[in-house]
Amino acid sequence: MSLDHRLSPEHEALRRTVQEFAHDVVAPKIGDFYERHEFPYEIVREMGRMGLFGLPFPEEYGGMGGDYLALGLALEELARVDSSVAITLEAGVSLGAMPIFRFGTEEQRQEWLPKLCSGQMLGAFGLTEPECGSDAGGTRTTARLDEATDEWVINGTKCFITNSGTDITGLVTVTAVTGREEDGKPRISSIIVPSGTPGFTVAAPYSKVGWNASDTRELSFSDVRVPAANLLGEEGRGYAQFLRILDEGRIAISALATGLAQGCVDESVSYAKAREAFGKPIGANQAIQFKLADMEMRAHTARIAWRDAASRLLHGEPFKKEAALAKLYSSEIAVTNAREATQIHGGYGFMNEYPVARMWRDSKILEIGEGTSEVQRMLIARELGL
C-alpha cells in the first residue's frame, strides 16, 4: 500500500475551510465559553451548517459523501485551536451517528441520520460504567425484553458520556446485557434510547479539568422502556459492534490529538518570536529552538500515523494495530507538547487567557478516553501475536 498521504484537492480545500473557521470563528469566542463551562451552541450550529457532522456519511442520509480522512482533517484543524469543539464533533460523528450508520436498519438510518448529519441533533454512545472503566466486557447495565409489550426494559448507569445532556441531544446508544451464553458470559447488545424517555435521567455536567466547553455527564436508567425495534444490529453483538466503533474512533482521537500538538507548536512559535528577554526574542535561544523542533517533529510524525490508519480503513485493509499505534503515540506527544508549550510561555503559560493553558488542561484526557494508553499497548502486543 502506498504511504503517500498528500491530500487530494478536495481534501485540501476542506482542510483550509475548517482551518479558516477555527481561526476566524472558534478562536475569538471559545475562551469565554471554556471559562464559563458553557456549551457553545452557536459554534456547533455553524459547524452543522458547514456539513461537518455529516462528513463521512452518504448524501442519501443527509451526509456530505466524504470519508474518515475528511473527518480527521476537520478534527485536527479544530483541535489546533480548541479541543472542546473538536471532541463535540468527534463524539457526535464517531460515537453518536456512526453506530447507526454501521449497524442500524434502513429505517433507523432514515429516522436518525439526517438530523445527526445536519448537526440539528447530537447523538451519544453510552458505553463506560462507573465500576467497569476499561473492562467494557464487565457491563452491568441490563436490558430484558418484555414480550407482552415488545419493549426493552433497561436498568443501569453510564458515566463520562460526551454530548449526552445538551439541549440538542436526541439519543444515546446504550450497551446492555441482554442475556447469558451457555458458558455464563454476558450477551451484550446495543439499544437506541431517545432523549426524554421516561426513567432516563441525565445528571448535571461534571466538573472537569479540561474540555470545559464540551458536555460530559452521568446517565441512569430506571425501568426505561423503548420499542424492541430500537435494538441496534443483532442481539448479543453489541460488544463486537462497539469494538469496531472504538477502532475507528481511535483514528479520530489521534487526529484530534495531533491537532492539539500542532496547536502547541503554533502558539509557541508565535510567542517565541514576540517575547523578548535579555534584549532579544526568546526564539533566538537554541534551547527554545530545539524544544520547538522536537515539538514539530512529534506533531508531524503523529499526523503521518493517523493518516496511515485512516488510509488503511478507507482501502478496506486491516487497521486495528495502526489505529492503536496512532492513538497511543499522538495522545502521549500531545501531553508532551502541551507541557513544553507551557514551559516556553513561562508564567503566561499558567494563565487561562493563553490558549496553551487550555491545551495543557485538555491534553491529559487524550491518554485515557477511547482506550487508555495501557489498553493501546495491550492491543498492539496482541496484534504482534503476543
State the catalytic residues.
370
What ranges in the chain are assigned the alpha helix state H?
9-21, 27-35, 41-50, 68-79, 83-90, 98-103, 106-117, 238-274, 286-314, 320-345, 355-363, 373-383
Cα separation, 25 vs 45, in Å, equals 12
Cα separation, 328 vs 30, in Å, equals 27
Residue linked to cell 528577554:
277
Query: Which residues are CB-neighbours of 259 under 8 A, at least 6 positions away?
Result: 75, 76, 77, 78, 79, 80, 83, 86
Cα separation, 323 vs 312, in Å, equals 9
Collapsing DSSP to helix, strand or coil, 315 comes out as coil
Cα separation, 308 vs 298, in Å, equals 15
Kindly state the cell numbers that stand for 144.
430484558
Reported residue count of the chain is: 386
Contact (CB, 8 A) for 162 and 215: yes
Contact (CB, 8 A) for 176 and 184: no
Q: What are phi and psi of 333, to 5 degrees?
A: -75, -25
Cα separation, 305 vs 326, in Å, equals 5
**Spatial CA neighbour of 301 closest among 46, 43, 1, 3:** 3
